[in-house]
Amino acid sequence: MVDPDDTPLGSMSLGPRVDAFLHTLEMSEDATLVRAPLSTIEPPRADTDAARREGSLLDAMPRSSRVRLESLLGEGGMGVVYLAEQESLGRKVAVKKVRAESRSPTSITRLLQEAWVIGQLEHPNILPVYDISVSDSGEPLIVLKRIDGVEWGQLMGDAATVQKRFRAPDLLEWNLDVMARVCDAVHFAHARGFIHRDLKPENVLIGELGEVYVADWGIAVSTRDDQRIVPLAKDAKEIAGTPAYMAPEMLGGEVSRISEKTDVYLLGAILYEILSGHPPHRGKDLREMITSILMDVHALPDSVPPALRAITARALDCEPDARFESPLQLRLALEGYLRHRGSERIAARALERLAELEAVLSQLDGSEGQEQQEQRIHGLVSECRFGFREALSQWPDNEAARTGLRRTLTVIVSHLARTGDPKAARAYLSELDVQDAALTSFVSAAEAEHHHGVLDRANRPIQAVERRIDHRQHLGDEDLIILHQGLQVLRFRLLL
């Protein structure tokens, strides 16, 4: 792991920044960061006009007995969700309310703010709110659509269930399709002036028929100064969010850096989990957890396609300006990968053949017959060239295929020039799409050496005849034939 004291980030090295964050955290936040990194850290206050008017707002709402609570569906840090029946329509709904032990003006306001945010986001991939009301006992209630499904995290790594329920044979492709719809929902919210701040698989619901809903907008902030209900992003200076997915700016600071790019990071964190099987941030103690959040995340396994590694790395960049401009741009990048996935697979197989070719060349010791060795080498070269070219024909921007083809041509040119076949080396060299001065010089030197070798072999019989002449020996017909053939070879080589 990189030493945080040696890692620059902005104007201050990482070590002092970690120390600064450690001094600002409260004990409850310490515990969540280390012992419950998948839980949401709620902002410590909701100081808005809505919070100050909380009492009058509740008084103005009608008491309602139209919703009858049934069984518990789930619970979070401050809220609980019940299955209920909306008696006026005779339908099942989900009802969210504040835990009894957590009830306060701040928690009630945050619950109402969530409803107000969702109410302004009518989108097919955002969990809709039906109503806000107050129970007979004075508790505020949010009436939501009842989703007969599960959290995305329960299906993300379960290929068998995804195949059985949704007839999706490719788990990665299914997850990326879900991700695309989440990106759509978040991009829509940004266009309406809201930042989610708590995107994670737990907050995405998958319906019985594969519907996708982004839920839990409880710590959302607004980018618009003209609304005074939801907290503003520019005022979000305290730590908030889920530590295992958190962007560096979510740790808080004297000046808020929360923006739409924060949600882009969170989407990248979900993508990281899809590809690696775990969230990007982990740590055995508080310092290690904060360091993980502030640093670039660990690289994905080599088994992950290079295009997906690049997309994920860009979304998870520590600097917001280096990330994708929007969730839409991230979605387009993922869709581009899916379109070109066939090309990626072909290139991956060709890379396996290339690794085998390089291993064969590195272990070449002449123990096999020379002809058998060369047949194997040229067979692997043919497979590599065909595979990389086919991948590039399907997707001309496949850099892995382009780089692989260059490596293939480079290693075979070097091998042929080294083993005395500069003519074939020159032919392969002409296929390279970029000039390699060192390799060209190497082939030219091999050609010159080969040329001198041919001349030397052709000159030997002539020199033998000359020696016989010097010794005044009689030249027979055989000597004259050797002399004639030698001169012909010399003439032919000189004409090349």
Considering 198, 216, 263, 317, which one is annotated as catalytic? 198
Q: What is the DSSP letter of 199?
A: -
Please check whether residue 318 is in contact with residue 296, taking contact to mean a CB–CB distance below 8 angstroms: yes
Please check whether residue 58 is in contact with residue 140, taking contact to mean a CB–CB distance below 8 angstroms: yes
Please check whether residue 80 is in contact with residue 74, taking contact to mean a CB–CB distance below 8 angstroms: yes
The dihedral of CA 459, 461, 464, 470: what is its sign?
Answer: negative
346: Cα separation from own chain's centroid: 20
198 in active site? yes
Q: What is the DSSP letter of 63?
A: B
Q: Reading across the β-sheet that carries 140-145, which strands appear in turn?
A: 67-75, 79-86, 91-98, 140-145, 129-134
Angle formed by the axes of helices 399-418 and 422-429, nearest 10°: 160
List C-alpha distances in Å: 427 to 406, 407, 438, 442. Answer: 14, 15, 16, 14
Tokens of 467: 């020696």
User: Element (H or E) spanning 130, and its range?
Assistant: strand 129-134
58: Cα separation from own chain's centroid: 45
C-alpha span between 195 and 113 (Å, rounded): 13
List C-alpha distances in Å: 45 to 108, 218, 467. Answer: 11, 12, 107
DSSP string, 380-418: HHHHHHHHHHHHHHH-TT-HHHHHHHHHHHHHHHHHHHH
Backbone angles phi, psi at 136, to 5 degrees: -60, -25
Q: Catalytic residue positions?
A: 198
